[in-house]
Amino acid sequence: MNQHYFSEAPAGDFTPREIQVELSGASRTVLTAGGVFSPDHLDQGTATLLAALPDLTELDTVREPVESHADTRPILDIGCGWGPIALAAALDHRDREVWAIDVNERSRELTRRNAERLGLTNVSVAAPDEVPADLAFAEIRSNPPIRVGKEVLHSILEEWLPRLIPGGAAYLVVAKHLGADSLQKWIATSFEDFDVDRAARKKGFHVLRAVRG
């Protein structure tokens, strides 16, 4: 496990390289490196999530907001990797703060560099324990680290789903063969104040939507 992308300090030299990806409707040149998730391309799960989000977030404008400007509250990317979800969110919502968190220090460095490359000043990159304890989020957008195992994954979601404001939504992309159905059921039974459904699917990947009541 200590050689995997969810390690805090991946083994091997840190040698960033450029790849071309489409984010927020345009081709972007970003940095990736070994020791992070999907270093060679935009993975299919993340691509599925990013393609579905515009329609889903338009329909799911934050309901029953805590305050009148809830739609300007931060967006959280859990397990940011080299940053595609956080970067796309920041490009689409330049008036909103986007938090990108990852235990992998290499992932955090790449996300910082990519935000700078794209001229984004609204991205805050942090280790999970560096996020202010009183910070709440309007949205969570994530390709969560399923391969850490159910116990660890559930612990991650137990920490962050309660940080959504009432009416806030989490959008999680999960491969069907890696447990999309069971994760949907677990969220529904573990969080009584959340409504959970399968909002989109493509090529074996399901986007789960969990809206806090």
Residue-wise pLDDT tens digits, 132-166:
999 999 999 999 999 888 999 999 999 999 999 99
Q: What gap in Å lies between CA 16 and CA 55, rounded to an integer?
A: 33
Residue 207, H or E segment? strand 205-212
The pLDDT confidence band at residue 65, using thresholds 50, 70 and 90, is very low
Fold of 17-212: Rossmann fold (3.40.50)
pLDDT of residue 6: 59
Report the percent of the chain where pLDDT is more than 90. 82
Burial 177-195 (b: 16+ CB within 10 A, else e): eebbeebbebbeeebeebe
Confidence of residue 71 (pLDDT cuts 50, 70, 90): low
CB atoms within 10 A of CB 9: 11
Distances (CA, A) of 33 to 39, 114, 208: 6, 12, 29
> 180-190 and 150-160 helices cross at what angle (nearest 10)?
50
pLDDT of residue 20: 98
DSSP 8-state assignment for residue 114: H
pLDDT at position 11 is 62
pLDDT of residue 147: 83
Q: Are strands 205-212 and 164-175 parallel, antiparallel or unpaired?
A: antiparallel
pTM given for the model: 0.91
For residue 110, how many other CB atoms are within 10 A of its CB?
Answer: 26
Taking the mean position of all CA atoms in its chain, how far away is CA 17? 22
pLDDT band at 72 (very low <50, low <70, confident <90, very high): confident
Residues listed for the chain: 213
